[in-house]
Each structure stands twice: as C-alpha cells, then as structure tokens.
Structure 1
C-alpha cells in the first residue's frame, strides 16, 4: 500500500467569497482524500488552516496534516479541493462481522477495506483484544488489524454519514450467482482470466467470488476483490468457419483452466480443421482461441 510525498500547489488566498458560506471553519478537524498513485482514495486526518479560491472560482482549503510530515519534520501543509475534504466521522467502537465494509488505519491514513476473517481474541489480564483480517479489494492485499484500528466505512453525503454499503447499492455490475472471469497478474497466472462465480455483492463495486479451478485440498478458493478485476464469462463453443486467425494475431487461449493472452505463431492443419501454434506451450485446436 503506497506512500509518497504530496505535490505542493501555490495557494491563492481570498478575503471572502460565496463559497466560504459552505466551507468548514478554520481550525476544523477534517480528513482529506488522497487520489495520488498508490494512495487508492485513502483519507488523512488534518486541520483547516485557511480558505482559498482556485482559478476556477471553486472553494479550496489549506490544511495541516496530523500524521504526515514535511521535509523538516513539521506537519505537512498543502492545498486541497473542497470536494476532497470532509469532517472527521464520529467515533463508533464496536465489534465487526465478516464481509462488513470498514476503514483501517494504516500507513498514517484510513484505507477502505472489507473484513475477511475474525481472528480469535487474545486475553491480556482482564482485557480481551479482538483482531480482524481485512482485505483491500482494489489493492488485492490482506492485513491483520486490532479492533482499535478499525471503524465502519461511512460516506459523508448530503451533510450526513451514510454506510458505504448503501451508497450505489442499487446498481452493482454483477449479481450473486453470476458466472464471471477474474484476472490474475501473479507470476503463476501470467495475466490469465479464470472462471469464477459471484457469491456475494459487497457494496456497489466489491464482490466475493469463488474460483472454479484454483484451490488447495480440493476446495475452491475465494477472494474479495474490486470490479476492475472482473469481467462477464464467455461460453466456450466450437468456432465455425467464420473464425480464422493468421500468424501474429493476438488471442486468448484456454490453458490450464484460464484464458491466457498469447500470439499465434503458426497455423497448422487443413483449411477445414485448423490448429494453431502459439506463444504458450503446445497448440490449440480450432474453437478454443478467442
């Protein structure tokens, strides 16, 4: 999960504007959304230090971060668009359940994730310490957190806090039971797309899927991931004479249970029943390249 130094932008102070009526006051405790590469929409605690006006006339803030430091170890200061600044959510201490959408405090900021597992509590003296395994669907990473470093994932919308699971709830890209294909970029999969089934919809863009061919001990593996890694499945049917590929064609080949990208290097067989040599091991018969 990435970290980095934010880019500084020269501020343009203003004495007053209509936007200021809707701005949070100077000194307000806020959180600032970061969309820099590697930050994945995480939020960082800060304090409003002044109001600004951008060249387009839209309200902006200067903020001093609470957890991010500048080059001289002082609180980092930068400008932020009003749309990326929100109040700090009210505290809510409680237990969490599997597949609940949460935010985890990690690398000085709050990151959106999903509870993947509840860790058996440990007892220290008279205190029970609970922990959870949290998956970050956009990053495809899973880390363990104590309960004190988690909070419910909420969105500040229309001046109130709304559970993230209710935002965009009516329009998920996939539904439970849908047959899909999931991309892999690990070394063992070489960018292949593997068949899976959607087991559960988590919010508008996160899904619990079960793989058909990947797993250990004869059990299908499951994963919580973002929609960017999922596409609808395709029916595998024998291709008719309309489909012919020439050398150097970019295709996908059904190989070891998944669709893998490759290039046709040689056309084999007759005009009616063709096979193709490709960049992966072996050949593929007519009807199994796409």
Structure 2
C-alpha cells in the first residue's frame, strides 16, 4: 500500500476515506457505451509507450505557505489524474531518500467519512499546484468572454463529483451562452456528459510558475510503451454486448487526441443509422486500453488447431466475440460457445467466420491456450 500511495503522489490516511469520490458520472451516450465495466487496462509489465510510468508534473518553484489555496492530483484507480481543490495545512521538507517532502492539505469539497469533518491527506510537491486563475482572454476564443467559447475537440476539465476531470469537448454552443451546455467526453469511463459552461475550463498545466495550455488528456501513463496510432489506422474496438459479451468491432482511428487516447469510428449493427434501415455509425472517444490493432494472425500448427476446445473468436453481428469450439457440426462448420452477458450462447459458424483467439496487452499479442473438452 505504501508503494501504491507514493506512486499516486500522496500518503493514504490511516482512518479516512474520501467522501464523494466516484468513478461513475451518470451519462448520456455519444456513440455506443458499454453496459458494464470493461476489462481493466493491462497492469505494469504488460504494456508498451513512448514514455513509461506516471506523467509527473513539475513541483512549484517555491514552497507554498500554510493557507494557500491549491489543487492536488490523485492518480489512483478510478481517478487517473483528477485535480481536487484543497488548502495547504503545512509543508515538511525531505529528510533523506526514505522521507521525501510532503504537503499536508485539507480538501475543499471532501469530508472525512469517520466523523464528517475536514479530510486531511499528504501529497508530494509534484502533485500540488496553485489553483488556476479565473478565465482570461487567452482561454477559449481569446475574446475574454465568459463563459469561454469552446470548440470541437478542445482539451478541457469539467468539475464533477468534487474534482476536475479531463476530457474533450464534443458539442458546444456557437456563441458564449451561460444557459447552453458544453458536452464533454471522458476516455476512461466512455461517458459523455453535458455541463453548464461555468464548470468547464480549458485544461492547463503549471510549468515553471506559469500556466500553459495542455495538449494531453490522459496524464497517468502505462509503465511501458504502448502502441501509438494515427488517423486512418484500422483497429478494433472492444465493447460489452448483451448477447455476445465483450466483443471487438472493426474500427478506424478518426483522430489521435494524444498518444494514449483516440476518437474512433465503427459500425454497430445494434444501432440504426440516421436514415433507419441500416447499421448505425458509432463515434467514441476512448482510452488506448479499449483499442487493439486489426491484425490477421497466422499461428503455427503447434499453437492452434481448429477443433473442439480451441479458443476462437466468432464473427457475430458485426463484431468478433471470444468463445470456445464445442463440437464439429459438419465439413467446415463448428458449434462455438460464446459467453453472453446473461447466458452462454451456442452459435454455428463456418470456418471463414472464425479466427484464433489472441490477447493484446498494448504492445504484444499472445495466443489464448485452448481448453480441453472432456
């Protein structure tokens, strides 16, 4: 636990938990969202990136005094770089490699679950910064208007569940209007939420005592390098389905927002298009862990043989669904067991609609070991 807390830039309190910290935000849908939590991103040692580990911000050049209004960054699971407003209580300088410098802060909007009082925690200086100044003419369109005028795919932060969460704008009014909504998409939760403009701000980083526009949404990086995509790349996108479980849809990278998150487009046979009568085109903003390259695998005969017990992916209603061959039906046709959300599904597939099942960890493929049919 100590190592995990240090990696997050804070020390966990002995008896306090954060009230109000919730991963879910309550959502509307932009494209198609999963109906249950997707598999977690690969852990340390199973991914690949131009830079590894947490993207650690620079510590403020000067020590922040007691009473200073600040923001603190939480990198733990479910938060991944969310900034929470706080006030500095004290600062303890480093006393050697095993006793690093730490700020003690109290949160502005979070309470101690134990007694309902102020929640105090400790953070590394790299995860404490002054609160950003109010909107200025350099934000948005640069006309000094409030609320700022946002544009499609602007990198922003939205105040939600007591913290500032990173995302991109997917819909905004053409002119500043405090009554209109700014809709923001979040890559880790796949949620798309409309916000009042007053709780959305351009995302900025505090560098050498100055605030500069940020070009990245995802700040907590995998331990190792992961595959980087570019616009036009053919990929597959994972999403949960009621009937066929977690499945992979053929997709195309529409835009790289940063090197860890992307806007993708794909067709969903469960959704009707705008004109009706055909598959709907889904557009989503996604974290890299929901994406894999579109690759045709040619395993060695010693690795894969199509027959009972073979781990495969079956093409079902527009997407590839993992399953296991249960029996041979006839020449070139197989019965496959697919784990649906509510029940197992048995589907009959010809060999052209089956392929070996592989796992992608962000960098490498690994074939799934076949199961033994008794």
Alignment TM-score > 0.5, same fold: yes
Instruction: Name the counterpart of 1:212.
Output: 267
Is the partner of 1:148 in helix, strand or coil? helix
Whether 2:89 is the aligned partner of 1:89: answer: no
Any unmatched runs of 5+ in structure 2?
1-10, 16-58, 136-145, 219-225, 339-345, 357-374
State the Cα distance separating 1:189 from its structure 2 match. Answer: 5.2
- Once residues 184 and 20 of structure 1 are traced to their aligned partners in structure 2, the CA distance between those partners, rounded to angstroms, is 41
RMSD after superposition: 3.2
Q: What is the TM-score normalised by the length of structure 1?
A: 0.79
Query: Of the two structures, which has the highest relative contact order with CA contacts closer than 8 Å and spacing of 6 or more?
Result: 2
1:28 aligns with 2:68: yes
Partner of 1:283: 348
Which has the larger displacement, 240-249 or 183-192?
240-249
Q: 1:172 to 1:153 in 2, by over 3 A?
A: farther
> For the Cα contact (< 8 Å) 1:32–1:84, is it kept in 2?
yes
Preserved CA contact (<8 Å) 1:121 1:130: no
Q: In the alignment, what sits opposite 1:15?
A: none
Residue 180 (structure 1) shift: 0.8
Pick one of 185, 192, 207 that aligns with 2:240: 185
SS in 1 for 2:98: coil
Helix, strand or coil at the partner of 1:26: coil
1:96-245 to structure 2, matched below 5 A, reads 96-118=150-172, 128-165=178-215, 173-187=228-242, 190-214=245-269, 215-217=271-273, 218=278, 219-235=280-296, 243-245=304-306
In 2, Cα distance between equivalents of 1:152 and 1:189: 39
* Other-structure match for 1:263: 324
- Cα deviation, residue 194, structure 1: 0.3
SS at match of 2:180: strand
Q: Which has the higher strand share?
A: 1
1 CA distance for matches of 2:120 and 2:88?
10
Q: CA deviation at 1:167?
A: 8.4
Q: CA deviation at 1:75?
A: 2.3
Residue 39 of structure 1: how far off its partner (Å)? 2.6
Q: How many residues align structurally? A: 267
| Secondary structure class of the residue paired with 1:211 | strand
Structure 2 length as normaliser, TM-score?
0.63
Displacement of 1:68 in angstroms is 0.9
* Unaligned runs of at least 5 residues, structure 1: 1-5, 11-18
Answer yes or no: is the 8 Å Cα contact 1:20–1:59 preserved in 2. Answer: no
Match of 1:251 in 2: 312
Post-superposition shift, 1:179? Answer: 0.8
CA distance in 1, matches of 2:130, 2:167: 20
Secondary structure of the structure 2 residue equivalent to 1:151? strand
Q: Which moved further from structure 2: 44-53 or 153-162?
A: 153-162
Deviates more, 1:94-103 or 1:202-211: 202-211
Moved more, 257-266 or 36-45: 36-45
Match of 1:8 in 2: 13
> Relative to structure 2, which stretch is displaced further, 149-158 or 108-117?
149-158
Distance 1:158 1:245 in 2: 59
8 Å Cα contact 2:90-2:104 kept in structure 1: yes
